[in-house]
Chain A
Amino acid sequence: MNVLLDNLGLYGSGFLTTIQLFVISAIGSLVWGTVLAAMRVSPVPILRAFGTGYVNTIRNTPLTLVFFFFAFAYPRLDIVRLDFFTLACLSLITYTAAFVCECVRSGINTVPVGQAEAARALGFGFTQTISQIVLPQAIRSVVPPLTNVQIALLKNTTIAAGFSVVEAGGIYQNLSERGYDVFVGLLWVAVGFLILVTPLTVLQRRLEKRWSVTR
């Protein structure tokens, strides 16, 4: 208990950075992932090919390797100097977007073609079909797995600690400098993540139960 109480500030700032990383990367990955999904279902072959290539490459690359590229290789290109926090966000967005894309795409694919055909037969335009017929149905099967992806993202933020971002995963280094018990310190970090992850998991299970479509 002492380890936590004596270093409350350290834990506070660590988890604050984690939450910042999570929120920024979550928004970024949702936007970029949706754009990628739009590419993958678009009628333009080149965009489809790019989307497929991106998803297949990134999904088969370890996140640590993505971090490796952004943290060590990107600065070598001398484009724009970015701090480690921004680089960590970029890595997390690049990686998570591939999974978001797959969720959104498979969600759209669960909507039967007949739905859209019926809408078009009734004279709905593209925007109307999308916003009133396809998306309302797709969202039910997209949101639960999407929550899962975001939970994974929250847990993945810890990897940033290995790349010079001072966040929850890096608390142990400070503790060990200050001479505290690292084992207990890390257990408290685990508890912190339990507190952050559990509400999301509960939400995800609720959504899954309530929104599971019976087709």
Chain B
Amino acid sequence: MTSVLYDTAGPKARLRYRIYGVIGTIALVAIAAYIVYRMAVTGQFEARKWEFILYEQIQILLLDAWWATVSAFLVAAVLSLLFGLVFAAGRMSDHRWISLPATAVVEFFRAIPLLILIFILYFGLSRGLGLNISTFWALVLGLMLYNGSVLAEIFRGGVRALPKGQSEASYALGMRKTQVMTYVLMPQALRAMLPTIISQLVVVLKDTALGFLILYPELLYQARYLGGQTNLGSPILQVGLVIAVIYIAMCLLLSWLANYLERRTKRSRKVGPLEPTAAPDAEMEIVTAAPGGGAAPRT
């Protein structure tokens, strides 16, 4: 293996690498063993502390908490995509009185910490202005404002990265600006930016955990609650591990989707610029050739 940093190893180097490998393995195993040892000494492996998983009520509680997380994520994801589209369009507008405020909004919400935004929406509005807003909406709206602004920049970046000839050709065909945007530029930009957009959705999913800090009853909140139950042996470490597995699995699934899409778009780009129009044709052929026409209507 030759990389930027290392030449293909000779016999001496191979021996050295092997020694490093052994030292590294020993170090890593030692650290892991120490953590396991501390867990054993402090009684983290006692059956009592893991029993909570077996109780049906707790399972339902965790399932509810999971749904609280996922529903906040779904609503926030849809809203931030919409917010992003609207403000990306606003920033790219030719009218100054639209583009300037849109720019200000996007830059402002990207610069302040999401948690402060959520605090403003929750504590600020309720205690300061007397508006009652639920923890769910405070979290979702905060996520929408922040991630929507980031997505707006992603959309704008995608449109700007397109070759100029695309819009010039569309204008030459007599399309209006709105038509150029909706029929020509946006579809291409969205397709190119799809992996980045999904990565941003992973961020949305991760940031739903901030709801814990305003006591929105999501996964972490319930983990804290269960971890404090003395009759279960206060299994906060154990519940934490279960929650971590749930979060990591969900995020990995989304990340994996992003990677998959990135590989797909990369592969198709090699075929050439005409490929996007060629692909549906190829698919149509397969569909019509399939006996029985078992193709579901694609909408």
List A residues at the B interface (Cβ < 8 Å).
41-47, 50, 56-57, 59-65, 68-69, 72-73, 76-79, 108-109, 111-113, 115-117, 120, 126, 129-130, 134, 155-159, 161-162, 169, 172, 176, 181-187, 189-190, 193-194, 197-198, 201
Contacts and interface: CB of A to CB of B under 8 A. Distances in A.
Interface in B1-38: 1-7, 9, 13, 17, 20-21, 24-25, 28, 35, 38
Interface bin, chain B = 35 or more
Contact of B28 (A50, A65, A162, A189): A50
14 contacts: A44-B17, A46-B25, A47-B20, A62-B206, A62-B209, A72-B237, A76-B44, A77-B38, A77-B39, A155-B113, A186-B119, A186-B128, A197-B111, A198-B111
B5 A79 contact: no
B169 interface: no
A69 B3 CA distance: 37
Given A176-B127, A187-B124, A61 B116 contact: no
B113 A183 contact: no
Contacts of B180: none
- Label chain B's interface by main secondary structure: helix
- Label chain A's interface by main secondary structure: helix
Interface of B: 1-7, 9, 13, 17, 20-21, 24-25, 28, 35, 38-39, 41-42, 44, 108, 111-117, 119-120, 123-125, 127-129, 202, 206-210, 212-213, 220, 223-224, 227, 236-237, 240, 243-244, 247-248, 251-252, 255
Nearest to B252: A60
A46 B243 CA distance: 27
A78 B44 CA distance: 11
Given A60-B247, A134-B4, A182-B127, A172 B119 contact: yes
Contacts of A69: 240, 244
A129 B3 CA distance: 12
Given A44-B21, A50-B28, A72 B4 contact: no
